[in-house]
Amino acid sequence: MHKKPTVIDFFCGAGGFSEGFRQQGFKIIQGIDNWSPAVKTFNHNFELNNTPQDILEFWDSVDLIEALPDTDVIIGSPPCISFSNSNRSGKADKALGLKLTEVFLRIVAVKKYRKRSVLKAWFMENVKNSLNYLPKSYTFRDLNLSHWSRQNGYSPNQIVITVEGNSEIVNSAEYGSAQARKRAIIGELIGKKALVVPDKTHTFHPSKVNKLQQARTLASIKNKLPKPNIKSSSRLVQDPSYNEIRIPLNQISDHFYDSGIYMCQWKNSLFMKQNHPYMGKMSFPEDENKPSRTVTATNIGTSREAIIYKSEFNRVGDGEYRVPTIREMACLMGFPLTYQFLGGSENTKSRLVGNAVCPAVSRSLANVVRKQLKLRNKVKPSVNPNADLEGVINLNTFSSKTFNKPPIKRPGSRFRRHPFKYGNITVTLSNYDVTNSKPSRKWMTSVQYGNGDGYPSINYEDGFYECVEPILQKFEEGQEFLEIINNGFLEKIANSKTLQRMYEFQKSEDQFIEPTALIEEVGKIINCFKLKNPNFEQDRLIIFDQKSTVPVKQVMALYAVNKIATITNEPADE
């Protein structure tokens, strides 16, 4: 029997990178990470006994690198947060991400160029944006190996790692995952001195020419798993991705609990997905007939990136929608049902799953290495058929959640909302100056033109609604709109201090409505009108100075929003 090729995994996390290689018959001999829950998870699933270790220690010590076991393959996935576009639009400090990458490549360089090297391949995974910050190549000197290179007969200026030409953006959905997750793969088959990109197995657009399978959908995972709100039982459940696995329902961990979210949370996600100031619309809830969007490490239900499902619990408002369970996330990533995540909380497990590498992608990379090693293609993946729940803190409760502790925002939190995006215009209520992002002592009205960050944004002074009112009176529907706004709606507007407090507590008080709901109501009122003449041709009186023709709905919105700002900014009675 041929000896199993070996793998060592750096920044191993929960072990998704290693799982794909194990499924292709590789032996995982070590995982290195500095986060205890990740190391415990890796040890549990690969029957190892690693301890947390800071990989930065390898930067100054070649001895530590040479003490590592020699393996056929080195894999690693340096933390991607500093490279990610989701981190304040990619403006985070990149220094740590670059350093961690260099430490990983330093280890690869030593193992690749040492005498009697056994290294056959290495691969590194990261967010696709990382390629914008990595150099085209690295020398021994770049990797702090000048002295070592001289000792081993190499020039310190010799190029040892080439990034350009040895990198590729891959989409996990094209390799059998039910998730469209794009990541950069950098690496090399040592024998070929190049990265060999695995052949795709799935496509978004199948045809007789490409003969690839249709990309798997979110529904292919979600509909094959038991519903999270059912009762415990011992009936067997088929793994949605691995035919070899059928386990009792009561052995499926981290799935049978209520992942419902508060109405203030899912409404914020709804707004960001379908009414974002300068980004396009997204499905709410998820379109289950397509591959899932990227599973994230936070799994919160408030963001534009959040994955949102309609809850199986029959509720309206709080808990009406939910985020995926940890098990659903894991299955979308491509982990088997038997794979366990060790952590004491949903947040910890979410981070373990969301930061992992999709096993479908690493399985394809492993298959490339098998071909290079002239090993027979492994059609059926090697997976653990049984669930080892010993020591696992299981999130299953088989009960519904009580929504009695709504999330509270930080004092002074910023607010920005518009009723709708229409005619390439938004009319915005905010508690800061949107035009320059500076704090403001009052609530403000502004208008944005265009659908991109940086497009013209104009502020309007309080009381400007008085200039808008005569225009609205000329419209057939304008008088009715004014009557609705000025009879009943105004009483719902609180003073500045109360409006801010309601926003932070995300809860209305007495007859007053918190600002997100206030702007939402403005949109609902305006959208009830079926306008005979939907556009307003500006003539002498210019209301929107960047347009000659504007939608009547935006004239209505400007009136309502400016009136809200004017009233809320009025000095409180002594």
Name the token pair of 460.
Answer: 């309007």
- Cα 145 to chain center, whole Å? 36
| Candidate list 80, 264, 331, 358, residue with the active-site label | 80
Whole-angstrom CA distances from 459 to 43, 427, 436, 462, 495 are 57, 10, 11, 10, 20
Q: Is the peptide bond before 78 cis (omega within 30 degrees of 0)?
A: no
Alpha-carbon distance of 349 to 514, in angstroms, equals 33
| Spacing of C-alpha 192 from chain mean position | 35
Q: Hey, how many other C-beta atoms are within 10 angstroms of the C-beta on 374?
A: 7
Q: Say how far apart CA 551 and CA 477 lie, in whole Å.
A: 13
Walk across the sheet containing 73-76 and list its strands: 27-32, 6-10, 73-76, 121-127, 182-189, 167-171
Inter-residue contact 356 to 299 (CB < 8 Å): no
End-to-end C-alpha distance for the chain, whole angstroms: 89
Look at residue 12 and give its three-state secondary structure.
coil
Distance CA 166, CA 81 (A): 22
DSSP state, residue 487: I
Q: Which residue, among 359, 355, 360, 398, has the nearest Cα to 254 in the 3D structure?
A: 398
- Residue 80 annotated as catalytic: yes
Q: How far apart are CA 493 and CA 509, in angstroms?
A: 11
Residues designated catalytic: 80
